Structure 1
């Protein structure tokens, strides 16, 4: 029971970060709204429009074009954050986890005072936990496979031992049967020996009696 509870707690510990990152990503997508009027470069306006519409592939193209051409660095933290999310959403056709992580890290490095800093740090922290859990999972899977292989080898060895034991038991039964037969033969031989000894004794007695009778019947020798 204790092991089962501990196992469930471990599972819960693993699921919390996964659930957290989903909540953060969804909340970020809902909270970051596009203003009704954007007085900025067309690429930025297009990127925001595509992002809000869920067309992440085109949003990525527009955002990257904006970052490439705009040298003012205005709104770059927001663009980096949205661009990272567009790469981070699993449902996005532009999904690329490594690019998303790189963009979040770039946001923290280039814009340490950005209002998106806290959310970026939280997402990176959760992703780091997921990576650690995945690494642990891979190691556990590897250990499980090794244990399965070991179990299969041990099961084969156990099967062979069972077969050897059955053979030994069969041999033991055969030996016991042979011993019983030998004992019966020995008992029969002892019985025969006793009978023969008794017969020999009787024969000796008869012989002595015959000798006595023979001596009595013989004539006396003259003196």
Structure 2
């Protein structure tokens, strides 16, 4: 890919590109599932005003007053898409001349830690909702039981992202290890060889006023020959006035 010096291909570039695209797809899938199947909004008119009611089926009803896991999932997926696009953009940026992929290491490690925390949170709240749906006979519990598969899909996609980012992070560390002991390509070129391309020694010429006068500069100008002296020209024709 483009990361590296001009003419230097990055063997880990395809791994970064595929990993970035797959993780972006998982994040988009989480957004769609939560919005379409695990988030419920309703409203009714009472006293001349519209009263809205929201419900997140990723958690138990008693935990919705302290935290909203649907909002948390949207934020997690949104930041996950940012990490994925960041990794893909760095492979497409032709102006980056990096000998060691520090940026790739940073984004992969940050994304890995982020998705570990998000997956653990979604799994804990999702399993609590599963237990509530299986242990109660209320109408809300029945809805939670029907949504159990979608909740499992969300945190399963989160752990899939953990695996993908772990692979990308391992690739970045391997990339660093393989490039750390290598000198940059400019160092292998060496100095320019002497010879025809050697730079000549520059000598500044003396200023004009310091140069000596030319030879015979003060000599008298030559005298013209006297009148009537032979000059080597042919004589004038006869009869010429």
- Confirm or deny a common fold (TM above 0.5): no
TM-score, normalising length: structure 2: 0.38
Where relative contact order (Cα < 8 A, 6+ residues apart) is larger, the structure is 2
Structure with the higher fraction of residues in strand conformation: 2
Structure with the higher fraction of residues in helix conformation: 1
Structure whose CA Rg is larger:
1
